[in-house]
Amino acid sequence: MPINMEWKPMGQLFNPLDHGLPMGCKTHSQSPQAIILDNRFRVYCTSRARDEGGKFLSKVIYVDFDFDWNFIGHSNGEIIPLGELGTFDEHGIFPFSPFQDGDKITAYTCGWSRRVSVDVETATGFATSDDNGQTFEKLGHGPVFASSLREPMLVGDSFVRKYNGTYHMWYMYGTKWVKETDNSKPDRVYKIGHAVSNDGVNWMPDNAQIIPDILHENECQALPSVLYDNGIYHMVFCYRDVFGFRDDPSKGYRIGYAYSVDGQYWVRDDDLGGLKNAQGEWDRDMMSYPHLMQHHDKIYCLYNGNQFGREGFGGYQLNQSGLTWKHNQADKNKILNHFQNCDEGFIDELSSRVDIVDYAQKLIDKAQRFEVWNGDQLIGFIAVYWNDENDYITNVSVDRKYQGQGIGDALVKRCVITSKSLGKKTVKLEVKNDNQSAINLYKKNRFECMTENINYATMIKIIE
How far, in Å, CA of 258 to CA of 142, rounded?
Answer: 32
Bridge partners of residue 98, in order along the sequence: 107
Q: Are strands 426-432 and 390-398 parallel, antiparallel or unpaired?
A: parallel
Q: 140: how many CB neighbours lie within 10 A of its CB? A: 10
CA atoms of 134 and 179, how far apart (whole Å):
41
Question: Is-cis flag, bond preceding 95, omega within 30?
Answer: yes
Contacts for 204 with CB less than 8 Å, ≥ 6 apart: 195, 196, 197
pLDDT in tens, 197-238: 999 999 999 999 999 999 999 999 999 999 999 999 999 999
Residue 387: band (very low, low, confident or very high) from pLDDT cuts 50, 70, 90 = confident
Domains identified in the chain and CATH numbers: 7-318 (2.115.10.20), 324-462 (3.40.630.30)
Q: What is the pLDDT of residues 274-322, one digit of tens each?
A: 999 999 999 999 999 999 999 999 999 999 999 999 999 999 999 988 8
| pLDDT tens readout for residues 21-42 | 999 999 999 999 999 999 999 9
36 class by beta-carbon count within 10 Å (0-12 exposed, 13-18 middle, 19+ buried): middle
Instruction: Give per-residue pLDDT as tens, 87-101.
Output: 999 999 999 999 999
Q: For 174-189, what is each residue's pLDDT tens digit?
A: 999 999 999 999 999 9
> Could you give the CA distance from residue 1 to residue 299 in angstroms, rounded to a whole number?
9
Label residue 149 exposed, middle or buried (CB < 10 Å: 0-12, 13-18, 19+).
exposed
